[in-house]
A and B are shown apart, each in its own frame.
Chain A
Amino acid sequence: MDSRPHAYLDGELPLDALSPAERDRAAALQGLIDTAAVHLRQCAVPDLTSRVMAALPTPAVPVPAVVAEQPSAPIAAVRRLAAWLWNPQPIRLQLRPVVAFATFALLLVASLGLWSAAPSDPQPALVSETVAPPVYVQFRLDAPDAKQVTLAGSFTDWEPRYDLVQTSPGVWSVLVPLKPGVHDYTFVVDGVRWIPDPNAPQVPDHFGGANSRLTLLPPRNDT
C-alpha cells in the first residue's frame, strides 16, 4: 500500500511532491471520501430532545440520615403530652340513666337536623390529573440589528421572560419547555418592538397587530 497519497490527503505532503500516478491515486481517494462524506452528512438528523427528556429517570429523593440525639426538655414534654392525648386512656363515668337517655335523644335530634341541612348535590370528585411531560421548543429569530431579543407569550402571561441568545451573528435563539397545547407568542426586540415569528402561523392580537401561534402535541412515549 502506497502511503504517499494518504500523506497528501492528511496534509503532510504537498501535491507537487507526488508522482503523476500518486496524484491519480490521491484524486481517486479524494473522490471516494467526498462521495461517502456527502452522503453521510446529508442524512436527516431527528430531534431527540423531547424523547430524551421524557425518558430521563426521576432522581431519587435523598433520605436524611437519622441522627440519634436526646431531645431537649420542652420537646420531650410536648412528646409526652401528644402520647397521652393519642394513646387510649381508661375513663370512669358515673351517670344517672335519665340523663344518659336525654343526652342521647338530644344528639339524635341534632344529627338529623344537620343531615337535612346538608346540600343535596354531591361534591365534585377530585380528578387526578396526569401531568404531560414538557415539549422543548427552540424559538429562533433572525434579527441582525437587534441588541436584545426576548420572548413573551401566553405561557409567560405575556411577560417577556425568556432572553434569546445570539448563537451566530444576527441569529437569536432560546430553548423553552412548554406544555402540549396551543400557545401564542411574540418576540420583543430591544424591549420595544413586538414582532411575530415570520416562520409561524399568525393570529390577530386584538390590538391591531399579530401574534404567532404554536400547536404542540404531547411527545410520543415510544421509548
Chain B
Amino acid sequence: MSPSDTELIQRVLAGDRDSYAWLVRRYQEMLYRHALGMVSDGDAAADLVQDSFIKAFSSLESCHDPERFGAWVFRILRNRCHDYLRDRRRQMLPLDREAMLATSRECPDIDLERLTLGQTIEEALSRLPEAQREAFLLKHVEGCSYEEMAQRLDTSVSALKMRVMRAREALQALLKDRIEADHSKGIA
C-alpha cells in the first residue's frame, strides 16, 4: 500500500523532504489539468502548479486535515489561478486568435483540423466567466460529483449546478458550428 497523505506529511514535517515527492506525484496531474483548463497555457499552468506545491510545502504545518492534502493544495492552486488571470486581464493581453490561426495553417490538413478544434475549445473555455469555467472543468474533465465540488469550492450544490448549466449552454453556443462541422467530417 502507498503511504497515506497523513503519513507522508508527518514524514516531511519530521525532516524527510524526499517524502514530499510522493505528494507531488500524487496530485500534480489533477492540479495541472485544472490549471491548464483555467489559464489555457501549458507553461503558465506548470508554473502555477509548481508555485502551489512550494507554497503548500512552506506552510505544511498549517494543513490541519492532512488526509485532505489534495483539496488543500487545490485551494492554493485555485487562488494562484485567480491571481494569474486577474494580472493577465490587467495587462490587457487578448488571446491572439489571428496568430494562432496563422500557426494552424502551416500544419498538414488532418492535423490542422484537430489542432484547430483543440484551440477552439480552449478559446471558448477562456471566454467563460471564471466561476463557470472552473465548475465545468471540475464536473466534466475531473469528473467530480457536485458534492465534492461544493466541498472544494465552498459553494452550494445548487449554485454549482447553475454554473455548470450556464457553462454548457455558453460553450454549446460558441462551439456548435465547429463541432457539427467536425462530426460531419468524422474527425471529432
Q: Is the CB of B24 within 8 A of A39?
A: no
Q: Mark A37-57, 1 if CB is under 8 A from B, else 0.
A: 101110101111101110111
Chain A residues 54-76 with CB under 8 Å of chain B are 55-57, 59
Interface of chain B, main secondary structure: helix
* Bound Cα distance A138, B22 (Å): 10
Chain A residues 130-188 with CB under 8 Å of chain B are 134, 136, 138, 165-167, 175, 177
Kindly state whether residue A123 has any CB partner on chain B within 8 Å: no
Q: Is the CB of A33 within 8 A of B50?
A: no
Instruction: Give chain A residues whose Cβ lies under 8 Å from the Cβ of B135.
Output: none
Kindly state whether residue B58 has any CB partner on chain A within 8 Å: yes
* Bound Cα distance A11, B169 (Å): 17
Q: Is the CB of B172 within 8 A of A29?
A: yes
Size category, A interface = 35 or more
Kindly state whether residue B144 has any CB partner on chain A within 8 Å: no
Q: Is the CB of A175 within 8 A of B22?
A: yes
Chain A residues 1-33 with CB under 8 Å of chain B are 1, 3, 6, 9-10, 28-29, 31-33
Kindly state whether residue A120 has any CB partner on chain B within 8 Å: no
Residues on A close to B: CB < 8 A? 1, 3, 6, 9-10, 28-29, 31-33, 35-37, 39-41, 43, 45-49, 51-53, 55-57, 59, 134, 136, 138, 165-167, 175, 177, 223
Residues on B close to A: CB < 8 A? 1-2, 15, 17-18, 20-22, 24-25, 28-29, 32-33, 36-37, 42, 46, 49-50, 53-54, 57-58, 117-118, 121, 125, 136-137, 140-141, 146, 161, 164-166, 168-169, 171-172, 175-176, 179, 182-183, 188
